[in-house]
Amino acid sequence: MHEGFHSDHSQRAAAETFHRTGMTEQIAEVKAKLIHNVRRNSKRYGALTSSRILTVLAKGLPGELQHGVLDAISAGALASDIRTLITPSGQLFLYSQEYMSIEDAAAKGKLEEVKHAMAEKIRRDSRVLTALSPLNSMFALFPDIKPVKICSLLNEMQTQVQYRDIKTVSAFSGELYLYCDAHITEKYAGLLVRSAVSDACSTIVDTVREESRIYPRPTRISLFTSQVYGIPAATLHPCIVRILNSPQYADIRKLVHPETEAEYLYSTLHMNEEQAFSLMNWMEEEATAGVRVPLLPQCP
């Protein structure tokens, strides 16, 4: 009986030792993979490595051991060349000092903050408004950064584990929208992007009919890309084509000024072509002379 008890105890102790040894080997493997990734990213891409990569590398480790690896990183005990960078938003990044200077890392950290801010806006739009985030809204968020750089950062985000919930969807016009798939499904995003284009067409038609009825006057097409309406140029042209070829908008007609080539729309419900052309000609003359055409009817 006693021999059996001792035998069971020895087996349990051996199993625990084996388990601990296995965990130690796994931790060592995770650390080795992490160091390799950090050095490769710093050398080959000149990029920081997010600590979020541990969610992939240490997937098989218990939570407390993952935290242990993070503690080792924060304490600088990972490797002599591996350094950490904590951004104002609290993100933890790693880089190899052999391939990236402290100054370069700090500059990269600022760009990572831009990515973080864009992701937070996209997530908030999806969660709170159940709305897509137009690419133009990212440009507006950081007006001091060139649009081409914003696009480059968004492309980088597609490969980073911490932004795997950020997705893109394109309208038939080519206009790009972003959303968070934790709050909006791919199918619903497709419905929303089609709705955004339809809303733009409705806005254009309603405005043209109203201006033709109230003022009356034709509406300059370029007006719709202004801040008041905010319709992206890439969306505007397909909308105009759609409107002019749709039976439900048969009253909407287009005029082109013979000299300035400015394009206008008007509604035959309230104006004839001759009247619309005469007013367009007057509006272009006023614009050329630097006279601001009033947006509201003038009191007599």
Separation between Cα atoms, residue 247 and residue 66, nearest integer Å: 62
Q: Note the pLDDT of residue 19.
A: 43
pLDDT digits (tens, 9 = 90+) for 217-248: 999 999 998 877 778 887 888 889 989 999 99
What pLDDT score was predicted for residue 185? 94
Q: Is the pLDDT of residue 299 over 50?
A: no
Please give the Cα distance from 128 to 120 (Å, whole number). Answer: 12
Measure Cα distances from 194 to 70, 89, 172, 295 in Å.
Answer: 44, 35, 8, 30
pLDDT-derived band at 78 (thresholds 50, 70, 90) equals low
User: Rounded to an integer, what distance in angstroms lies between the CA atom of residue 172 and that of residue 197?
Assistant: 9
| Domains of the chain and any CATH numbers | 2-100 (1.10.10), 103-184 (1.10.10), 193-288 (1.10.10)
List of residues 6+ apart from 130 with CB closer than 8 A: 183, 184
Task: Please report the pLDDT score of residue 92 as a whole number.
Answer: 92
Here the tokens at position 31 are 């650390």
**pLDDT above 90 (res 279):** yes
Could you report the per-residue pLDDT of 101-137, keeping only the tens digit for each?
999 999 999 999 999 999 999 999 999 999 899 998 9
Say what the pLDDT of residue 62 is: 74
pLDDT for the residue 165: 97
What would the pLDDT profile of 170-213 be if each residue is shown by its tens digit? 876 678 999 999 999 998 998 888 777 778 888 899 999 999 99
Residue with tokens 């008007």: 266
Give yes or no for a contact between 269 and 218, defined as CB atoms under 8 angstroms apart. Answer: no
Position 274 confidence tier, pLDDT thresholds 50, 70, 90: very high
Q: What separation in angstroms does the CA of 116 have from each of 39, 56, 57, 121, 246?
A: 23, 20, 22, 9, 42
- The Cα–Cα gap between 119 and 134 comes to 13
Residue type, 128: V
Q: Is the pLDDT of residue 83 over 50?
A: yes
